[in-house]
Amino acid sequence: MSKSFIIACVLISLSCGAYAAGTQKDIESVIKKQTEHLLQDNRFTSVSIGVVNNGKSITGHFGELTKKQGNKPTDQTIYEIGSVSKTMVGLLAAYAIAEGKLALNENVNFYIDNQLDKVSTAAHPITIQQLLTHTSGLPRGLEQLGLTEETVNKDSFIKAMNKFETSTLKGQYHYSGAGAELLSYILTQVYHKPFDTLLKQTLIENAGMLNTQVNLSKAQIPFLAYGYDNKNEVAKSHVAPNKLWGGRGFVKSTMPDLLSYMKLQLQGDLPVIALSHKRLFDVTDTEFLAFFWIVAKDEKLGTYIIHHGGVESTQNWMIIFPTHNLAISVVSNSSFPEAAQLLREVGMNIASSLINLSVDGN
Protein backbone atom coordinates (compact mmCIF):
# COMPACT_ATOMS: atom_id res chain seq x y z
CA MET A 1 0.00 0.00 0.00
CA SER A 2 1.49 3.36 -1.07
CA LYS A 3 2.30 6.09 1.40
CA SER A 4 0.15 8.61 -0.53
CA PHE A 5 -2.87 6.31 -0.37
CA ILE A 6 -2.49 5.91 3.42
CA ILE A 7 -2.25 9.70 3.85
CA ALA A 8 -5.38 10.22 1.74
CA CYS A 9 -7.33 7.73 3.83
CA VAL A 10 -6.24 9.41 7.06
CA LEU A 11 -7.28 12.85 5.77
CA ILE A 12 -10.69 11.56 4.72
CA SER A 13 -11.26 9.87 8.07
CA LEU A 14 -10.29 13.05 9.92
CA SER A 15 -12.65 15.12 7.79
CA CYS A 16 -15.60 12.79 8.27
CA GLY A 17 -14.91 12.32 11.95
CA ALA A 18 -14.88 16.06 12.53
CA TYR A 19 -18.55 16.34 11.75
CA ALA A 20 -19.48 14.13 14.69
CA ALA A 21 -17.90 16.77 16.96
CA GLY A 22 -19.82 19.68 15.39
CA THR A 23 -22.66 20.98 17.56
CA GLN A 24 -26.17 21.79 16.47
CA LYS A 25 -25.59 25.33 17.73
CA ASP A 26 -22.61 25.73 15.39
CA ILE A 27 -24.62 24.64 12.36
CA GLU A 28 -27.63 26.77 13.29
CA SER A 29 -25.29 29.77 13.60
CA VAL A 30 -23.87 29.16 10.11
CA ILE A 31 -27.36 28.79 8.62
CA LYS A 32 -28.63 31.94 10.34
CA LYS A 33 -25.66 34.02 9.20
CA GLN A 34 -26.02 33.01 5.56
CA THR A 35 -29.79 33.45 5.57
CA GLU A 36 -29.76 36.87 7.19
CA HIS A 37 -27.35 38.02 4.51
CA LEU A 38 -29.58 36.59 1.77
CA LEU A 39 -32.74 38.22 3.12
CA GLN A 40 -31.11 41.64 2.96
CA ASP A 41 -32.02 41.34 -0.70
CA ASN A 42 -35.68 42.40 -0.59
CA ARG A 43 -36.49 40.33 -3.66
CA PHE A 44 -36.49 37.32 -1.33
CA THR A 45 -39.48 36.82 0.94
CA SER A 46 -38.56 33.60 2.72
CA VAL A 47 -36.01 30.81 2.71
CA SER A 48 -35.90 27.33 4.23
CA ILE A 49 -32.61 25.50 4.69
CA GLY A 50 -32.00 21.91 5.66
CA VAL A 51 -28.60 20.44 6.54
CA VAL A 52 -27.66 16.81 7.07
CA ASN A 53 -24.34 16.74 8.89
CA ASN A 54 -22.94 13.33 9.76
CA GLY A 55 -26.44 11.91 10.19
CA LYS A 56 -27.84 14.88 12.12
CA SER A 57 -30.70 16.85 10.53
CA ILE A 58 -31.06 20.57 11.17
CA THR A 59 -33.70 22.86 9.65
CA GLY A 60 -33.99 26.64 9.56
CA HIS A 61 -36.97 28.67 8.34
CA PHE A 62 -36.73 32.43 7.83
CA GLY A 63 -38.72 35.35 6.46
CA GLU A 64 -42.40 35.20 5.57
CA LEU A 65 -44.25 33.23 2.92
CA THR A 66 -46.64 36.10 2.19
CA LYS A 67 -45.41 39.68 2.15
CA LYS A 68 -46.39 41.64 5.28
CA GLN A 69 -48.22 38.66 6.79
CA GLY A 70 -45.45 37.36 9.05
CA ASN A 71 -46.32 33.76 8.15
CA LYS A 72 -42.94 32.14 8.53
CA PRO A 73 -42.41 28.81 6.71
CA THR A 74 -42.39 25.70 8.88
CA ASP A 75 -41.60 22.01 8.61
CA GLN A 76 -45.17 21.55 7.32
CA THR A 77 -44.68 23.97 4.42
CA ILE A 78 -44.84 22.21 1.06
CA TYR A 79 -42.62 23.56 -1.71
CA GLU A 80 -42.57 22.88 -5.42
CA ILE A 81 -39.04 21.56 -6.03
CA GLY A 82 -38.91 21.98 -9.81
CA SER A 83 -36.24 19.99 -11.60
CA VAL A 84 -34.90 18.42 -8.42
CA SER A 85 -37.86 16.16 -9.24
CA LYS A 86 -35.72 14.66 -12.02
CA THR A 87 -33.31 13.18 -9.48
CA MET A 88 -36.25 11.28 -8.01
CA VAL A 89 -37.08 9.94 -11.48
CA GLY A 90 -33.43 8.92 -11.67
CA LEU A 91 -33.71 7.14 -8.35
CA LEU A 92 -36.79 5.23 -9.55
CA ALA A 93 -34.88 4.29 -12.69
CA ALA A 94 -31.96 3.03 -10.59
CA TYR A 95 -34.32 0.79 -8.63
CA ALA A 96 -35.85 -0.45 -11.89
CA ILE A 97 -32.41 -1.30 -13.28
CA ALA A 98 -31.43 -3.05 -10.05
CA GLU A 99 -34.63 -5.11 -10.30
CA GLY A 100 -34.03 -6.01 -13.94
CA LYS A 101 -36.96 -3.97 -15.24
CA LEU A 102 -34.84 -1.50 -17.22
CA ALA A 103 -31.47 -1.61 -18.99
CA LEU A 104 -29.35 1.48 -19.61
CA ASN A 105 -28.64 0.71 -23.26
CA GLU A 106 -32.09 -0.54 -24.24
CA ASN A 107 -34.19 1.23 -26.88
CA VAL A 108 -37.05 3.05 -25.11
CA ASN A 109 -39.51 1.46 -27.54
CA PHE A 110 -38.90 -1.88 -25.89
CA TYR A 111 -40.87 -0.65 -22.87
CA ILE A 112 -43.71 1.26 -24.56
CA ASP A 113 -44.97 -1.00 -27.35
CA ASN A 114 -42.94 0.75 -30.06
CA GLN A 115 -44.91 4.00 -29.73
CA LEU A 116 -41.83 6.03 -30.72
CA ASP A 117 -41.01 3.99 -33.82
CA LYS A 118 -40.06 7.05 -35.92
CA VAL A 119 -37.90 8.97 -33.45
CA SER A 120 -36.24 5.94 -31.82
CA THR A 121 -35.41 3.46 -34.55
CA ALA A 122 -33.44 0.24 -34.28
CA ALA A 123 -30.54 1.88 -36.12
CA HIS A 124 -30.63 5.09 -34.06
CA PRO A 125 -32.39 4.33 -30.78
CA ILE A 126 -33.10 6.60 -27.87
CA THR A 127 -31.84 4.71 -24.84
CA ILE A 128 -32.61 4.87 -21.13
CA GLN A 129 -29.09 6.18 -20.52
CA GLN A 130 -29.63 9.00 -23.00
CA LEU A 131 -32.79 10.05 -21.18
CA LEU A 132 -30.93 10.07 -17.85
CA THR A 133 -28.09 12.20 -19.24
CA HIS A 134 -29.99 14.67 -21.45
CA THR A 135 -28.29 13.28 -24.56
CA SER A 136 -31.35 11.90 -26.37
CA GLY A 137 -31.76 14.92 -28.64
CA LEU A 138 -35.29 15.42 -27.30
CA PRO A 139 -36.38 19.00 -26.53
CA ARG A 140 -36.25 21.00 -23.35
CA GLY A 141 -39.99 21.43 -22.93
CA LEU A 142 -43.47 21.21 -24.33
CA GLU A 143 -43.17 24.40 -26.37
CA GLN A 144 -40.60 22.84 -28.69
CA LEU A 145 -43.07 20.02 -29.29
CA GLY A 146 -45.78 22.50 -30.27
CA LEU A 147 -47.72 21.79 -27.07
CA THR A 148 -48.84 23.80 -24.05
CA GLU A 149 -49.36 22.95 -20.40
CA GLU A 150 -53.03 23.89 -20.74
CA THR A 151 -53.86 21.60 -23.67
CA VAL A 152 -51.36 18.72 -23.50
CA ASN A 153 -52.43 15.18 -22.71
CA LYS A 154 -50.55 11.89 -22.62
CA ASP A 155 -51.54 10.89 -26.13
CA SER A 156 -50.62 14.23 -27.74
CA PHE A 157 -47.29 14.22 -25.86
CA ILE A 158 -46.22 10.84 -27.23
CA LYS A 159 -47.39 11.68 -30.77
CA ALA A 160 -45.50 14.98 -30.75
CA MET A 161 -42.37 13.26 -29.43
CA ASN A 162 -42.49 10.78 -32.28
CA LYS A 163 -42.39 13.63 -34.81
CA PHE A 164 -39.47 15.49 -33.22
CA GLU A 165 -36.18 15.72 -35.12
CA THR A 166 -33.39 14.63 -32.76
CA SER A 167 -30.47 14.14 -35.17
CA THR A 168 -28.83 17.54 -34.65
CA LEU A 169 -28.63 17.18 -30.87
CA LYS A 170 -28.48 13.43 -30.26
CA GLY A 171 -25.39 12.35 -28.35
CA GLN A 172 -24.74 15.86 -27.03
CA TYR A 173 -25.72 17.31 -23.67
CA HIS A 174 -28.96 19.19 -24.29
CA TYR A 175 -31.16 19.62 -21.23
CA SER A 176 -34.46 17.84 -21.82
CA GLY A 177 -37.44 18.01 -19.53
CA ALA A 178 -39.36 16.13 -22.21
CA GLY A 179 -36.89 13.27 -21.89
CA ALA A 180 -37.41 13.12 -18.13
CA GLU A 181 -41.17 13.05 -18.68
CA LEU A 182 -40.77 10.20 -21.17
CA LEU A 183 -38.78 8.23 -18.60
CA SER A 184 -41.53 8.88 -16.05
CA TYR A 185 -43.98 7.33 -18.50
CA ILE A 186 -41.70 4.34 -19.12
CA LEU A 187 -41.52 3.69 -15.37
CA THR A 188 -45.31 3.52 -15.19
CA GLN A 189 -45.26 0.89 -17.91
CA VAL A 190 -42.63 -1.38 -16.36
CA TYR A 191 -44.17 -1.18 -12.88
CA HIS A 192 -47.81 -1.09 -14.02
CA LYS A 193 -48.52 1.74 -11.57
CA PRO A 194 -49.36 5.43 -11.88
CA PHE A 195 -46.24 7.57 -11.57
CA ASP A 196 -47.33 9.31 -8.37
CA THR A 197 -48.18 5.98 -6.73
CA LEU A 198 -44.79 4.57 -7.66
CA LEU A 199 -42.99 7.70 -6.47
CA LYS A 200 -44.76 7.82 -3.11
CA GLN A 201 -44.37 4.11 -2.41
CA THR A 202 -40.66 4.15 -3.23
CA LEU A 203 -39.89 7.23 -1.16
CA ILE A 204 -41.97 6.10 1.82
CA GLU A 205 -40.46 2.61 1.84
CA ASN A 206 -36.84 3.69 1.37
CA ALA A 207 -36.68 7.10 3.02
CA GLY A 208 -39.80 7.52 5.15
CA MET A 209 -40.91 10.50 3.05
CA LEU A 210 -44.61 11.00 3.77
CA ASN A 211 -45.26 14.32 2.02
CA THR A 212 -43.57 14.09 -1.36
CA GLN A 213 -45.64 13.67 -4.52
CA VAL A 214 -46.78 15.35 -7.73
CA ASN A 215 -50.49 15.72 -7.01
CA LEU A 216 -51.37 17.02 -3.56
CA SER A 217 -54.35 15.84 -1.55
CA LYS A 218 -57.00 18.33 -0.42
CA ALA A 219 -55.52 18.17 3.07
CA GLN A 220 -52.06 19.11 1.77
CA ILE A 221 -53.01 22.02 -0.49
CA PRO A 222 -53.33 24.59 2.35
CA PHE A 223 -49.67 23.94 3.23
CA LEU A 224 -48.36 24.65 -0.29
CA ALA A 225 -46.07 27.67 -0.42
CA TYR A 226 -47.36 30.23 -2.89
CA GLY A 227 -44.45 32.24 -4.20
CA TYR A 228 -43.44 35.32 -6.14
CA ASP A 229 -42.30 35.46 -9.76
CA ASN A 230 -39.72 37.63 -11.53
CA LYS A 231 -42.17 40.56 -11.47
CA ASN A 232 -42.51 40.19 -7.70
CA GLU A 233 -46.12 39.16 -8.19
CA VAL A 234 -47.87 36.09 -6.79
CA ALA A 235 -46.82 33.26 -9.07
CA LYS A 236 -48.74 30.42 -10.58
CA SER A 237 -48.66 27.25 -8.49
CA HIS A 238 -49.26 23.83 -9.96
CA VAL A 239 -52.07 22.54 -7.77
CA ALA A 240 -54.29 21.07 -10.49
CA PRO A 241 -53.70 17.36 -11.21
CA ASN A 242 -50.80 17.00 -13.63
CA LYS A 243 -51.91 16.16 -17.16
CA LEU A 244 -48.83 14.06 -17.87
CA TRP A 245 -46.75 12.31 -15.18
CA GLY A 246 -44.91 15.21 -13.54
CA GLY A 247 -41.42 13.80 -13.16
CA ARG A 248 -39.82 16.56 -15.20
CA GLY A 249 -40.41 19.17 -12.52
CA PHE A 250 -43.70 19.03 -10.65
CA VAL A 251 -42.92 17.12 -7.43
CA LYS A 252 -43.81 18.88 -4.16
CA SER A 253 -42.10 18.21 -0.82
CA THR A 254 -41.44 19.47 2.70
CA MET A 255 -38.05 20.26 4.17
CA PRO A 256 -38.15 17.25 6.56
CA ASP A 257 -38.80 15.01 3.53
CA LEU A 258 -35.95 16.63 1.61
CA LEU A 259 -33.68 15.96 4.59
CA SER A 260 -34.72 12.31 4.50
CA TYR A 261 -34.06 12.21 0.76
CA MET A 262 -30.56 13.62 1.27
CA LYS A 263 -29.88 11.08 4.01
CA LEU A 264 -30.76 8.34 1.53
CA GLN A 265 -28.46 9.91 -1.08
CA LEU A 266 -25.60 9.88 1.43
CA GLN A 267 -25.88 6.09 1.81
CA GLY A 268 -23.36 5.36 -0.92
CA ASP A 269 -22.88 1.82 0.38
CA LEU A 270 -26.37 0.96 -0.88
CA PRO A 271 -26.01 -0.53 -4.38
CA VAL A 272 -28.95 1.41 -5.82
CA ILE A 273 -27.59 4.74 -4.53
CA ALA A 274 -24.11 3.94 -5.84
CA LEU A 275 -25.70 3.12 -9.19
CA SER A 276 -27.67 6.37 -9.30
CA HIS A 277 -24.42 8.32 -8.80
CA LYS A 278 -22.57 6.38 -11.50
CA ARG A 279 -20.66 8.33 -14.16
CA LEU A 280 -22.70 8.10 -17.37
CA PHE A 281 -21.70 11.10 -19.48
CA ASP A 282 -18.83 13.61 -19.21
CA VAL A 283 -19.98 17.22 -19.56
CA THR A 284 -16.66 18.96 -18.84
CA ASP A 285 -13.29 18.00 -17.38
CA THR A 286 -14.72 18.53 -13.89
CA GLU A 287 -18.39 17.59 -14.33
CA PHE A 288 -20.26 14.46 -15.33
CA LEU A 289 -23.85 13.32 -15.37
CA ALA A 290 -25.15 10.42 -13.34
CA PHE A 291 -28.87 9.54 -13.09
CA PHE A 292 -29.89 13.16 -13.77
CA TRP A 293 -27.52 14.33 -11.02
CA ILE A 294 -24.60 16.59 -11.94
CA VAL A 295 -21.43 15.43 -10.21
CA ALA A 296 -18.75 18.12 -9.96
CA LYS A 297 -15.46 18.88 -8.25
CA ASP A 298 -14.35 21.85 -6.18
CA GLU A 299 -10.72 22.36 -5.22
CA LYS A 300 -11.58 23.09 -1.59
CA LEU A 301 -14.82 21.18 -1.04
CA GLY A 302 -14.08 18.07 -3.08
CA THR A 303 -16.57 16.11 -5.18
CA TYR A 304 -20.21 17.03 -4.78
CA ILE A 305 -23.55 15.98 -6.30
CA ILE A 306 -25.91 18.79 -7.19
CA HIS A 307 -29.18 19.71 -8.87
CA HIS A 308 -31.18 22.90 -9.27
CA GLY A 309 -34.94 23.24 -9.41
CA GLY A 310 -36.91 26.28 -10.45
CA VAL A 311 -40.54 26.99 -11.31
CA GLU A 312 -42.58 30.20 -11.37
CA SER A 313 -42.96 30.21 -7.58
CA THR A 314 -39.87 28.48 -6.20
CA GLN A 315 -36.11 28.22 -6.58
CA ASN A 316 -34.02 25.59 -4.83
CA TRP A 317 -30.75 23.68 -4.81
CA MET A 318 -29.79 20.32 -3.39
CA ILE A 319 -26.05 19.82 -2.83
CA ILE A 320 -24.54 16.61 -1.47
CA PHE A 321 -20.95 16.08 -0.32
CA PRO A 322 -20.55 12.30 0.17
CA THR A 323 -16.94 12.46 1.38
CA HIS A 324 -17.86 14.89 4.13
CA ASN A 325 -21.17 13.15 4.98
CA LEU A 326 -22.83 16.51 4.41
CA ALA A 327 -25.88 17.59 2.39
CA ILE A 328 -27.71 20.90 2.03
CA SER A 329 -31.10 21.91 0.65
CA VAL A 330 -31.87 25.61 0.12
CA VAL A 331 -35.40 26.61 -0.91
CA SER A 332 -37.06 29.99 -1.43
CA ASN A 333 -40.53 30.92 -2.60
CA SER A 334 -39.06 33.77 -4.67
CA SER A 335 -38.27 33.11 -8.32
CA PHE A 336 -36.36 35.74 -10.31
CA PRO A 337 -33.43 35.46 -12.73
CA GLU A 338 -30.64 35.88 -10.16
CA ALA A 339 -32.29 33.80 -7.44
CA ALA A 340 -30.77 30.49 -8.51
CA GLN A 341 -27.19 31.76 -8.36
CA LEU A 342 -27.73 33.54 -5.04
CA LEU A 343 -29.23 30.43 -3.44
CA ARG A 344 -26.43 28.25 -4.78
CA GLU A 345 -23.92 30.62 -3.19
CA VAL A 346 -25.71 30.26 0.13
CA GLY A 347 -25.55 26.46 -0.10
CA MET A 348 -21.89 26.42 -1.04
CA ASN A 349 -21.04 28.99 1.66
CA ILE A 350 -22.74 26.84 4.29
CA ALA A 351 -20.79 23.82 3.08
CA SER A 352 -17.51 25.76 3.11
CA SER A 353 -18.17 27.10 6.62
CA LEU A 354 -18.99 23.68 8.03
CA ILE A 355 -16.03 22.00 6.37
CA ASN A 356 -13.71 24.74 7.60
CA LEU A 357 -15.25 24.46 11.04
CA SER A 358 -14.48 20.74 11.11
CA VAL A 359 -10.89 21.35 9.97
CA ASP A 360 -10.38 24.06 12.58
CA GLY A 361 -11.86 21.80 15.20
CA ASN A 362 -9.15 19.26 14.51
Query: Which residue in 244, 149, 132, 246 sits closest to 200, CA to CA?
Result: 246
What is the distance between the alpha carbons of residues 9 and 287, in angstroms, rounded to a whole number?
A: 23
Question: What does the pLDDT read at residue 356?
Answer: 84
Question: In which residue ranges of the chain is pLDDT below 70?
Answer: 1-22, 358-362
How many Å apart are CA 232 and CA 235, to the nearest integer?
8
Residue 302: phi and psi, rounded to 5, are 85, -160
SS3 91: helix
Note the pLDDT of residue 22: 58
C-alpha span between 306 and 327 (Å, rounded): 10
Q: pLDDT at position 15, please? A: 37
Give the number of other CB atoms < 10 A from CB of residue 68.
7
Q: What percent of the chain has pLDDT over 90?
A: 89
For the chain, list the domains and their CATH numbers: 3-82+209-361 (3.40.710.10), 89-191 (no CATH)
The fraction of the chain above a pLDDT of 70, given in percent, is 93
Residues 313 and 226 sit within 8 Å (Cβ to Cβ):
yes
Q: What would the pLDDT profile of 233-243 be if each residue is shown by its tens digit?
A: 999 899 999 99
List Cβ neighbours of 350 (8 Å cut-off, separation of 6 or more).
Answer: 30, 31, 34, 49, 51, 328, 330
What pLDDT score does 360 carry? Answer: 54
pLDDT of residue 227: 96
